Amino acid sequence: MLNNSMVYAAGAAALGTGLGALLAWIVARTNTPGRALVELMPLYPILMPPIMKNIAWILLLAPKSGILNNMLQQYFGVELQVFNAFSLAGMIWVFGLACVPLGYLFLLPIFLSFDPSLEESAYIAGSKPLNTMFRITFPLAIPALLSAFVLNFLRALRSFETPVLQGTPAGIKVFVNRVYDSVALEFNTGLATAYSMVLVVLSVITLLFYVRATRFSERYATITGKGYRVKAVDIGKWKYVTFLAVLGYFLVGIAIPFVVLIVVSMIPYFDYDTFMKFPSNIVFSNYYTVIHHPSFVTGLYNSLVLSTLIAIVTVFAGIVMAFTIYRTRTYGAKVFEFIGTLPLAFPPLVLSVGLVIIFLGTPLYNSLWALGLGLFVAYFPYAFRNASGSIVNIHKELDEAAWVHGAKWRHVFFKITLPILKPSVGGALFYIFVEAIRNVDVAVLLVSPGHEYGPVTLFEYFRVGQWAEAAAGGVIYLVILIVAVTVAKVAFNIKFSL
């Protein structure tokens, strides 16, 4: 189990970070055509809920019923089951693709601010662009690469959907699916707690490794007081290859899985022959079934309401705590800062197990209050760290000027600090809303009949074999997220590119 967990997490992190770094290098350091489009392509896959990516890739890569294996057999006569979604390799592939946007976002600012004189010296010495990338550019970005790798490693170690949907059917045990099975199937909270503690220890060891590995990160500094202008490298005809590389990721990252979900949602049921008859057998009965199913309707309503409320409450509470710590002389500020960040050390499913144990036998058990509290605990650290970083950047002289004129702290907070934080608040609201409305790992152990949560309902659809209904519900959720992006762009002027 430990070996499976480590191989899965390390493989997915390596794939996601490596591919994200390559895409960031292409966008920032080369003259790849269509820059305005190319820099956004690696980010679009964020919009698709994680559980829907798993469902789409299972439909594509399943050994017997999978679309790709059947296509190989039908058109090329390949009897061997080449692809297998229910394997460690399949798990690494699916979650590795989900890790690419984080690697891309971490490395893109580094490459955009890179001192080009180092690369120029290599080119003068006769080095080719690809050789320069591997020998100079990437080695100098090691701290950022390590940061992205460690975070992706932790995300994979804590991920829920991929191990449960792809690992469990094949008997591939990792700590997360054992925690879930111990509570949901075996009703053994003691065993779940033991597995959870191993997960926490692995997370702490990973963070300690990262701190130790980057303790000499100043050696990799390239931004100095010396002025320079960042410019793209002319890679000649290879620029069309790099464009195809970005386009290829866009296709496998969101376009192909989304098309599969669209088609499956509009056929009577899923099997390969029925899939290939589309669009002659197009139906909309799956959407009708989903929209009129009490569990989905209740779950959709609860997820919309709770996600909105959790986003507002966590962001406001995070700003208040950050303001109190960094702008007042409250006793024990560092203790509050530690408490506010502590939940990051616990995988979301572990937090869910803890809440189940705490609320068992109380009126809060199997209630929306418990689910809301679980989401709040899981996402508050992100709101707090976002607010902390923004408040630190606001000079204290603005607050002091108000206090000199007799303003109370609440006036300083609402009249000065909060208006300045508007862009940061908008970004945090959007991020937490999107993450909460897609969440499965916190909610899966806290829902109950009458208190459903949308993504968990989709998870249950798939678990019982209602694949077409799950696809229809996933398309509905993706439309909601696209609307959320549009609203965020208009209301808060959020930029989704650099």
Annotate 18-44 with three-state secondary structure: HHHHHHHHHHHHECCCCHHHHCCHHHH
For residues 475 and 415, membership in a common domain is answered with: yes
Strand, coil or helix: 495 = coil
> pLDDT, tens digit, for every residue of 317-369?
888 887 777 766 667 666 777 777 777 777 888 888 888 888 888 888 878 88
Q: Is the predicted pLDDT of residue 48 greater than 90, yes or no?
A: no
Which domain-ending residue is among 283, 314, 329? 283
- Top-confidence residue, 115 or 441: 441
For residues 341 and 240, membership in a common domain is answered with: no
- Per-residue pLDDT, averaged over 188-209, amounts to 81
**Number of folded domains that form the chain:** 2
For residues 146 and 260, membership in a common domain is answered with: yes
- pLDDT of res. 69: 92
- Model's pTM, two decimal places? 0.81
Q: Which two tokens stand for residue 319?
A: 């700003």
C-alpha span between 273 and 277 (Å, rounded) = 6
For residues 383 and 302, membership in a common domain is answered with: yes
Position 444 confidence tier, pLDDT thresholds 50, 70, 90? confident
Q: Is the predicted pLDDT of residue 495 greater than 60, yes or no?
A: no
Among 175-179, 419-423, 432-436, name the one with the lowest average pLDDT: 419-423
Strand, coil or helix: 49 = coil
- Top-confidence residue, 453 or 43: 453
- pLDDT of res. 16: 92
Which CATH number do you get for residue 166?
Answer: 1.10.3720.10
For residues 256 and 296, membership in a common domain is answered with: no
Mean pLDDT of the chain, nearest integer = 80
The DSSP call for residue 448 is: B
For residues 275 and 316, membership in a common domain is answered with: no
Position 315 confidence tier, pLDDT thresholds 50, 70, 90? confident
- Per-residue pLDDT, averaged over 188-200, amounts to 82
Q: Is the predicted pLDDT of residue 92 greater than 90, yes or no?
A: yes
C-alpha span between 70 and 75 (Å, rounded) = 8
Q: Is the predicted pLDDT of residue 175 greater than 90, yes or no?
A: no
- pLDDT of res. 313: 92
For residues 101 and 210, membership in a common domain is answered with: yes
Percentage of the chain lying above the pLDDT 90 cut? 16
- pLDDT of res. 498: 44
For residues 198 and 307, membership in a common domain is answered with: no
For residues 271 and 334, membership in a common domain is answered with: no
The DSSP call for residue 429 is: H
Find the angle CA(69)-CA(71)-CA(73) to the nearest 5 degrees.
Answer: 70
For residues 183 and 305, membership in a common domain is answered with: no
- pLDDT of res. 412: 65
- pLDDT of res. 394: 60
- pLDDT of res. 227: 45
- Per-residue pLDDT, averaged over 19-46, amounts to 81
With tokens 């999107």, the residue in question is: 434
Each residue of 343-378: b (16+ CB within 10 Å) or e?
Answer: bbebbbbbbbbbbbeebeeeebebbbebbbbbbbbb
CB 311 within 8 A of CB 426: no
- pLDDT of res. 464: 84
Which domain-ending residue is among 260, 283, 306? 283
For residues 329 and 461, membership in a common domain is answered with: yes
- pLDDT of res. 395: 57
Which domain-ending residue is among 229, 248, 283? 283
For residues 216 and 342, membership in a common domain is answered with: no
> pLDDT, tens digit, for every residue of 160-174?
889 988 998 888 988
Q: Is the predicted pLDDT of residue 79 greater than 60, yes or no?
A: yes
448: phi then psi, degrees, rounded to nearest 5: -160, 165
Position 11 confidence tier, pLDDT thresholds 50, 70, 90? very high
**Boundaries of domain holding 369:** 286-498
Reduced DSSP (H G I as helix, E B as strand, rest coil) percent helix, strand, coil of the chain, to 5: 75, 0, 25
Q: Is the predicted pLDDT of residue 87 greater than 90, yes or no?
A: yes
Does residue 343 have a cis peptide bond before it, meaning omega lies within 30 degrees of 0? Answer: no
> Which of 245, 274, 248, 255 lies closest to 53, judged by CA?
255
- Per-residue pLDDT, averaged over 93-108, amounts to 86
